[in-house]
């Protein structure tokens, strides 16, 4: 057993191991990949922009009904006068249209009801146009339903930021604390393994997982909801990397001394929970009082989400999100330096 | 052993280590020769693990000197790490990796050494090569831990309680594997609280208690040092109080009589004279005998003779 075989790179092996451990953990796969999609899908559906409201009206004759049906915003049902009055009284229709004497048209509705008034205007316009009225001024409608200003467009960068933070902090924290608890870190440093390779393997495996996780969530947003990505792809990738490394450094710091999973889990929630709430994942951080804004703006998740939103929705360049990048960079350097000082190797 | 083989692989001088107010190691001296299997035998909490972890460069002692393979941790850590094989007590390797992946990972840390599959074959883990670590039995996990210690083709092997918690069959299998490393000429430092393990595997044994060495020698020398070849133990229910111990001490060949909670232990030199005389004495005193055992003296008896306690009392 003195035969020597060529040696594999310790960093490559450690990174491979990180990756294998991750993909063999079904719960982790769910929380990192599936959960954000379910959340995005659920919230995207709940807050989707509904098509314009269609108003129900009743017409007494088939001729009237036919010409009223030219108006797309009216849902016209034909019924006799008695049934029509009954439907109007019970609010099933907003308007009853009946022929009057000498070619007149009678509109019956409740003028205190906005739907009734709208229905009357729409119905009258349809009837007059059918009778040959020509509008002297041509008009054109511009509808404000463009991608980019909807809730789902606001939400996807928020979820991306939240996911960057969660997977980096949990991925780093749980793995390290579990390894420390099992004396595995101590076993590793009893070998000639260079210590930096252990930490570097987390960074490298993070890049691989980050790519997958961003593609999955962003791909879902783009395909299912046509969420826009207006900034350059390079800038977007840089922001994701910077955010992920910053949160990894924060995760490393969180896990630098803890020995039990319970303590780690509490500490990680303590770090992340406030940011989930104030950093503008689900609603704008502007809703918090002005006095709190400087603090909120200085949080890494706020910076990451603001930068991602600016990139995706307004097409901001890296120069335009320099302040946010500065905040992320500062967090990364401070957390990483502290973590290296505090890290308990056994 | 020839004189040239008596070169020291490990020297420990006046080692001290305290944790808060507990003295774990209290001025310990050790010398392990190249190529020998040296055992640290002692009860739990005797300071064995602390001593070994200081030698492995994982714990910094309060005071004392440690020299491993002629080198010191303060100056030669990188070289030393390449030449040591270490198995720690209670390391749980990652459960989601396979046996092969685990060994390949550890192999990547060492500059030289055998291929992972070679170590797998040596540790008789071929059938489990692709099995997840989490699915292994206790004995298999322990063999995997040994495999991870062997991937760097070490000159010096540290084994901390290698068979604790294993069933008898798994322990025997592991002993056979350790026997093979001895034949390969590696130096081994082994800690254990099993006297049979120390007797079976070790060329020399240091018995430690409360962080101090209380005896040193080959297992045979140590057993001989207490002067008794055999032990006789008996129980006399309820009648212990009336037993005349002084009379028992007078029996020919009896060296020592101890009474402990209704059980009497006698160290004797000649079983065939002492036992009949003892039985006659019971008849004379009218004491009802409920249990009688004899066995040849072991390291356990050495420990009892030196400390008055059993190895596994804790």
3-state SS, B53-112, equals: HHHCCCCCCCEEEEEECCECHHHHHHHHHHHEEEECCCCCCCCCCEHHHHHHHHHCCCCC
What's the pLDDT at B1?
46
Per-residue pLDDT tens over the stretch A112-146? 888 888 888 888 888 888 877 788 888 777 665 55
Are the C-beta atoms of B153 and A1 separated by less than 8 Å? yes
Residue A160 Cα distances to A36, A286, A330, B96, angstroms: 8, 19, 21, 28
Are the C-beta atoms of B45 and B34 separated by less than 8 Å? no
What's the pLDDT at B262?
75
CA distance B211 to chain A (A): 22
What's the pLDDT at A1?
45
Q: Three-class SS of residue A54?
A: coil
Q: What is the CA radius of gyration of chain B?
A: 23
Question: Cα dihedral sign for A13, A14, A19, A21?
Answer: positive
- Give residue B193's pLDDT band: very low, low, confident or very high (50, 70, 90): confident
Per-residue pLDDT tens over the stretch B132-176? 999 999 899 999 999 999 999 999 999 999 998 888 898 999 999
Nearest by CB to A7, from B78, B111, B150: name it: B111
Mean pLDDT of the region B196-205? 91
Q: Three-class SS of residue B205?
A: strand
CB contact under 8 A, A191 and B110: yes
Are the C-beta atoms of B130 and B100 separated by less than 8 Å? yes
Per-residue pLDDT tens over the stretch A71-121? 778 888 888 888 888 888 888 888 888 888 887 888 888 888 888 888 888
Nearest by CB to A187, from B88, B110, B184: name it: B88
Q: Three-class SS of residue A107?
A: strand
- Give residue B3's pLDDT band: very low, low, confident or very high (50, 70, 90): very low
User: Which of A87, A22, A31 has the alpha carbon at shortest distance from A56?
Assistant: A87
CA pair distance A60, A71, nearest whole angstrom: 17
- Give residue A147's pLDDT band: very low, low, confident or very high (50, 70, 90): low
What's the pLDDT at A88?
85
What's the pLDDT at A54?
76
Helical residues (DSSP H) of B129-251, grouped into ranges: 138-150, 168-183, 195-201, 219-225, 245-249
pLDDT at B95 over 50: yes
Nearest by CB to A184, from B92, B122, B184: name it: B92
CB contact under 8 A, B88 and A24: no
CA pair distance B280, B251, nearest whole angstrom: 10
Are the C-beta atoms of B161 and B89 separated by less than 8 Å? yes
CA pair distance A63, A71, nearest whole angstrom: 14
Looking at the whole model, is its pTM more than 0.80? no
Residue A288 Cα distances to A34, A302, B308, angstroms: 30, 13, 72
pLDDT at B68 over 80: yes
Chain A neighbors of B54, CB-CB under 8 A? none
Are the C-beta atoms of A204 and A12 separated by less than 8 Å? no
User: Which of B221, B298, B222 has the alpha carbon at shortest distance from B265?
Assistant: B298
List the structure tokens of A81.
């006068």
Mean pLDDT score of chain A:
87
Mean pLDDT of the region A145-154? 73
- Give residue A232's pLDDT band: very low, low, confident or very high (50, 70, 90): very high
Chain B neighbors of A7, CB-CB under 8 A? 107-108, 110-112
């Amino acid at each position: 057993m003195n035969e020597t075989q060529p040696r594999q790179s310790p960093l490559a092996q450690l990174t491979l191991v990180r990756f294998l451990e991750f993909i063999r953990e079904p719960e982790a796969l769910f929380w990192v990949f599936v959960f954000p999609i379910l959340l995005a899908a659920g919230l995207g559906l709940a807050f989707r922009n509904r098509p314009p409201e269609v108003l129900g009206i009743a017409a007494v004759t088939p001729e009237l009904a036919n010409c009223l049906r030219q108006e797309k915003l009216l849902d016209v049902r034909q019924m006799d006068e008695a049934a029509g009055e009954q439907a109007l009284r019970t609010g099933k229709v907003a308007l009853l249209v009946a022929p009057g004497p000498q070619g007149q048209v009678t509109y019956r509705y409740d003028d205190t009801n906005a739907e009734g008034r709208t229905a009357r205007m729409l119905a009258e316009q349809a009837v007059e146009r059918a009778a040959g009225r020509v509008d002297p001024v041509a008009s054109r409608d511009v509808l404000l339903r463009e991608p980019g200003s909807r809730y789902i467009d606001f939400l996807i960068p928020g979820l991306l930021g939240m996911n960057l933070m969660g997977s980096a902090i949990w991925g780093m924290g749980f793995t390290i604390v579990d390894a420390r608890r099992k004396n595995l870190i101590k076993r590793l440093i009893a070998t000639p393994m260079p210590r930096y390779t252990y930490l570097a393997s987390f960074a490298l495996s993070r890049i691989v997982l980050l790519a997958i996780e961003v593609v999955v969530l962003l791909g879902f947003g783009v395909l299912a909801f046509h969420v826009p990505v207006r900034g350059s792809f390079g800038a977007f990738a840089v922001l994701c990397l910077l955010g992920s490394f910053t949160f990894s450094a924060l995760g490393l710091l969180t896990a630098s001394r803890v020995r039990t999973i319970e303590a780690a889990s509490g500490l990680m929630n303590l770090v992340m929970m406030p940011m989930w709430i104030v950093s503008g994942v689900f609603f704008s951080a502007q809703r918090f009082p002005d006095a709190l804004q400087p603090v909120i703006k200085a949080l890494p998740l706020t910076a990451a989400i603001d930068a991602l939103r600016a990139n995706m929705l307004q097409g901001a360049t890296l120069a335009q999100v320099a302040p946010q990048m500065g905040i992320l960079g500062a967090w990364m350097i401070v957390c990483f330096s502290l973590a290296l000082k505090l890290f308990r190797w056994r | 052993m020839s004189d040239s083989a008596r070169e020291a692989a490990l020297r420990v001088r006046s080692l001290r280590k305290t944790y808060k107010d507990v003295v774990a190691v209290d001025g310990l001296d050790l010398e392990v020769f190249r190529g020998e299997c040296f055992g640290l035998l002692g009860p739990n909490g005797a300071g064995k693990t602390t001593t070994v972890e200081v030698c492995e460069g994982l714990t910094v002692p309060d005071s004392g000197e440690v020299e491993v393979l002629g080198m010191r941790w303060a100056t030669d850590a990188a070289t030393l790490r390449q030449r040591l094989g270490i198995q720690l007590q209670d390391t749980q390797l990652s459960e989601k990796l396979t046996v092969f992946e685990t060994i390949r990972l550890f192999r990547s840390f060492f500059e030289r050494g055998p291929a992972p599959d070679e170590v797998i074959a040596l540790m008789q883990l071929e059938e489990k090569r692709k099995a997840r670590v989490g699915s292994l039995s206790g004995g298999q996990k322990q063999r995997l831990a040994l495999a991870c210690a062997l991937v760097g083709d070490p000159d010096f092997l540290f084994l901390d309680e290698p068979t604790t918690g294993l069933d008898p069959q798994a322990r025997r299998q592991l002993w056979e594997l350790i026997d093979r490393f001895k034949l390969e000429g590696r130096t081994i430092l082994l800690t254990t609280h099993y006297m049979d393990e120390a007797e079976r595997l070790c060329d020399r044994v240091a018995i430690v208690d409360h962080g101090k060495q209380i005896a040193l020698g080959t297992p045979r020398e140590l057993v001989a040092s207490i002067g008794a070849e055999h032990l006789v133990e008996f129980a006399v229910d309820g009648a212990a109080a009336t037993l005349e111990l002084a009379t028992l001490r007078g029996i020919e060949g009896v060296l020592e009589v101890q009474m402990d909670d209704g059980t009497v232990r006698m160290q004797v030199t000649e079983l065939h004279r002492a036992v009949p005389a003892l039985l006659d004495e019971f008849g004379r005193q009218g004491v009802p005998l409920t249990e009688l055992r004899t066995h040849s003296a072991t390291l356990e008896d050495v420990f009892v003779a030196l400390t008055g306690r059993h190895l596994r009392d804790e």
